[in-house]
Amino acid sequence: MIKIFGVGRGKPQSTEEGNGSQPRGEDFAAPAQEAPVAPPRKRSPGEIRMQKELAELELPPQVRIVVPEKDNIMSFQLKICPDECYWKGATYTFSINIPNLYPHNPPKVKCETRIYHPNIDLQGNVCLNILREDWNPVQDISSVIYGLLHLFLEPNPTDPLNHEAAEVLRNSKSDFNRLVQRTLRGCSLGGENFQRLV
């Protein structure tokens, strides 16, 4: 809690007892001036909905939410650490931006960690049906979280953003796994650099 001292009270009052020659703070303080109170910021329907969703959200153990700005729940990060898939043991950060017209418009999701994945391109764009044509106001942030987890458990090479990764996955799962493991160790692949994650 932030405490503000001395507002509208003249000089700060000593907590020590004096010799009686100095008047108490209440005796010489200037009349209190009421500071103008800013009206409360009007929250958008999307913000009201998000506040409710976050309060009721039960996260799976592989997921953490980080809110960089305490007063802005419309922009936050998801940190996903898959525990069973090609990318097991690595942590991936997704930025989530909630539009003011949420839930009528879907969240904007971007993968901030470079990944070799058929449904996430090297710029971080995510191909997930509920963020596009299958979105409707019944969906919520929990649907997005589980949708992203599903992309790790079952990548879909038939609806790719990274066509090269999708082709490798379609042709040989063992080759795909080898290339993923290479990127997780921070090796470059096809001229693209990857951060070491394991």
pTM over 0.75: yes
Catalytic pick among 81, 111, 127, 187? 127
Active site residue 187: no
Over the chain (198 residues), what is each successive 10-residue block's mean pLDDT?
Answer: 33 44 48 61 85 94 94 95 96 96 96 98 96 94 97 96 98 98 96 96
pLDDT at position 188 is 96
pLDDT at position 10 is 41
The CATH code that applies to domain 45-184 is 3.10.110.10
* Three-state DSSP string of 7-56: CCCCCCCCCCCCCCCCCCHHHHCCCCCCCCCCCCCCCCHHHHHHHHHHHH
pLDDT at position 71 is 86
pLDDT at position 44 is 84
Tell me which residue of 54, 171, 164 sits closest to 117, measured CA to CA.
164
As a whole number of angstroms, the distance between CA 109 and CA 127 comes to: 10
